[in-house]
Every structure is written in C-alpha cells, then in structure tokens.
Amino acid sequence: MTLPESYKQMFSTVSEDGKLTLALHEKSMPTPGADEIIVRIEATPINPSDHAVMFGGATMADASSSGEGVNKVLTAPVSSLAMAAMKGRVGQDLPVGNEGAGTVVSAGESEYAQSLIGKTVAVMGGASMYAEYRCVPATQAMPLLPDCTAKDGASSFVNPLTALSFVETMRLEGHRAIVHTAAASNLGQMLNKICQADGIDIVNIVRRQEQVNILKDLGARYVLNTSSDTFNEELIDAIDETGATIAFDATGGGSLASNILIAMEAAAARTPAAFSIYGSTKHKQVYLYGGLDTSPTEFTPRSYGMAWSMGAWLLPNFLAKADLDVGERLRMRVTEELKTTFASHYTHEISLSDALDSQIVERYNAKTTGSKFLICPQLEM
C-alpha cells in the first residue's frame, strides 16, 4: 500500500499575547521503526477530557473560525486570569485527541508489527489522535475483534477503562459498593452495566428526571435525583442499604461531594455502636474525577468524622500505580465487550476541518446537550 508523503494533524497553541489557535498542520509521513505501526485514523471521539488541552482556557464563547477545508483555523481569546494557568504551554503546538481507532496500513519489520497489517485497532496515549495517520509502538495498539469497526472501537479506552478502574479501585481499597454522580453519562451507563454483571451495588446520582429514566431503563436499582426535595434522606438510605463507602464524583464543584461524605457518615451512625467523638471507623472515600460544576467546592471536614479522604482520581495515574496485569485484564474485557457493555453512541460524525468550525465547537463544548461527536479524519475536507 502506498501512503501519502504527508498528512494533516490538529494542534492547539496558546500564544504569549493570549490567543488560542486550533489548526491542522501538515506532517511528514514517518517510516515506522521495527516495532512500530502506522494507523490510518478512521474514528476518534471528542471527550470532555480532550477539551482542556484543545481549548487552553480560552473564552470559547468568543471563538471564531476563518479559512476553509484543510486551511480552517479556529481562534479564541484567553483571558489574563486563564493565562496564569497556561504558563507551561505558551508557544507550544500541543497535539490533541486522546483515543481513536483505524486500520494498520504500514508496519516495521518485527513479526508482531507485521502481523497487524490490515487489522482494525484502537489506540490511546500521546494525545495525537486528531490526525489522518498516527505512528505508534505496535504493542500500544489494541486489535479489535473481527466483527468490530473503527467506529465501534473509537472509544475503547477513556470511558471503558475509567469505568472498569472505578470498580478496581473500589475492590483494591476494600469497599463493596459505589456512589457515582453525573451517573447518566456514557461512562455512567457503562459503569452500571459492569456493576450489574459483577453483582456490585451502585448508587447513581443525576439531576434530571430524563436521566433517571435512562438509568432505570438500563435496570439500575438506585437512581437519585438531586432536584428531589428529599434527596439527602434518599442518599443516606441508599448508602445505608448498599454499604457504599466510596464515591466517584464528576461534578467537582458545589456541595455534592461534601454531601456524599456527610451522608456516608450519617448512614454509618445508624449502626448502633459506642459513642465516639471521632465518628465511624470505616474509611469513607470520595474521588473527584471531573469538573462539570465550576462553582466553588464546598468542604466541611468537621462534618465527616475522622475516617475519610477526598482526592483526585485520574485514569493514567491509577493505571501507573496498578499492577501491569490489571491494565491487561481490563483491556481484554473491553475488547470482548466492545459492542455490549462498552458500546458508545455518537450523535454527529464530523471531519477534522468541521471540528475547527466555531459553531460546531459551540455544540460539542456544551456539557449538557447529550450530543456526542465523533471525528472521522478520513472524511473529505
């Protein structure tokens, strides 16, 4: 197969004077090393976890696009406040796109690399998936089962591995049930399927009735709506019934994470025990893994007793700490259940150039619309 001499790849750049530029750069097609492969990227999702690098803290409401096709460029202003946090990246062209899938179109001389030619694989890591091609170590690609397309495999890592790793974290840290917020998300739905398959209780927290319905339709037993007048009481009841002492919170702001710790302590206090000023002894853990709620985070440690922890949870950090065979086991499960447990649904399929259109950006940047965009880099630009 003859490959083109160059290809297009998306880069995000924040300039010294506070301007974000998102554009397609021309890159030379590399020659793969012995253990490397070249993947023609056919499907790569836009996840919330891609936004931060893409948008660089810019005020996206003021974004605008110019140019057409491969020359389209998106620019947006970065406020001086936001620039303070961008110091580490000023002037650097950062690649974007955390995961995707496509066909292996070239390979180095090693036997394993050669064996992948023609196969459909999923790839994660290096944040360079918003591109027409990508050169990666052969072992970094995850071959899909024969009946899976690149679109099926585009979201094989971020959400599936996060959902599976929540359950791993729960087990590793000695808990037996989970509380999850923003629970009707793609990730949340996967987590419910995993928990049902593995016989783990999960307390789902959402904020709208339609989200309750989505999860109930999936067979979820505990689905609480924060807009209910009796939400706090329902939360204590559900935690008491399930024994959930670990929570994964996608909101990161407001009072939800704090209220979960308070509810866990209140649930523990229902079990008769000798009075202790230090509260219950079972460790209660809340992990913040997202930032959907940008309001200040409430934190009242004196209400949590003396056996609790709140901390950040990040997939790469978890996998780096976990035993190697854990990552391998989780990837295996994703491969096998890609069209069931880990099926993703996209509302829009767009080209690399479309992804730089300010009106389209506005839609995939909105966190509440329920739309999910897939970039198909082989679409005509």
Nearer to its own copies, 304 or 346 (CB): 304
CB atoms within 10 A of CB 79: 12
Q: Does 82 bind its own copies (CB under 8 A)?
A: no
Nearer to its own copies, 89 or 363 (CB): 89
Least CB distance to its own copies at residue 275 (A): 4
Indicate the Cα dihedral angle 60, 62, 63, 64, nearest 10°.
160
How many whole angstroms separate alpha carbon 125 and alpha carbon 327?
14
> Which residue from 5, 210, 229, 320 is in contact with its own copies, where contact means CB under 8 A?
320
Name the nearest CA neighbour of 353 among 67, 102, 133, 92. Answer: 67
Nearer to its own copies, 11 or 342 (CB): 11
Least CB distance to its own copies at residue 297 (A): 5
> Which residue from 64, 92, 213, 347 is in contact with its own copies, where contact means CB under 8 A?
92
CB atoms within 10 A of CB 167: 17
Q: Does 295 bind its own copies (CB under 8 A)?
A: no
Say whether 135 sits in a helix, a strand or coil.
strand
Nearer to its own copies, 3 or 90 (CB): 90
For residues 202 and 170, is the Cβ–Cβ distance under 8 A?
no
The site that binds its own copies (CB under 8 A) totals a number of residues, namely 36
Nearer to its own copies, 56 or 102 (CB): 56
Q: Does 268 bind its own copies (CB under 8 A)?
A: no
How many whole angstroms separate alpha carbon 244 and alpha carbon 236?
10
Least CB distance to its own copies at residue 242 (A): 22
Instruction: Please enumerate in sequence order all residues whose Cβ is within 8 A of that of 237, keeping only pairs 6 or more positions apart, or say none.
Output: none
Beta bridge partners, 135, equal 38
Q: Which amino acid, residue 314? A: L
Nearer to its own copies, 29 or 82 (CB): 82
For residues 59 and 77, is the Cβ–Cβ distance under 8 A?
yes
Q: Does 91 bind its own copies (CB under 8 A)?
A: no
Q: Which amino acid, residue 231? A: F
Q: Does 291 bind its own copies (CB under 8 A)?
A: yes
Q: Does 312 bind its own copies (CB under 8 A)?
A: yes
Least CB distance to its own copies at residue 170 (A): 16
Q: Is 227 exposed, middle or buried (0-12, 13-18, 19+ CB in 10 A)?
A: exposed
Q: Does 94 bind its own copies (CB under 8 A)?
A: yes
Nearer to its own copies, 302 or 345 (CB): 302
For residues 104 and 83, is the Cβ–Cβ distance under 8 A?
no
Nearer to its own copies, 223 or 247 (CB): 247
Contacts to its own copies by CB under 8 A: 52-53, 88-89, 92, 94, 252, 269, 275, 277-278, 281, 283, 288, 291, 296-302, 304-314, 316-317, 320
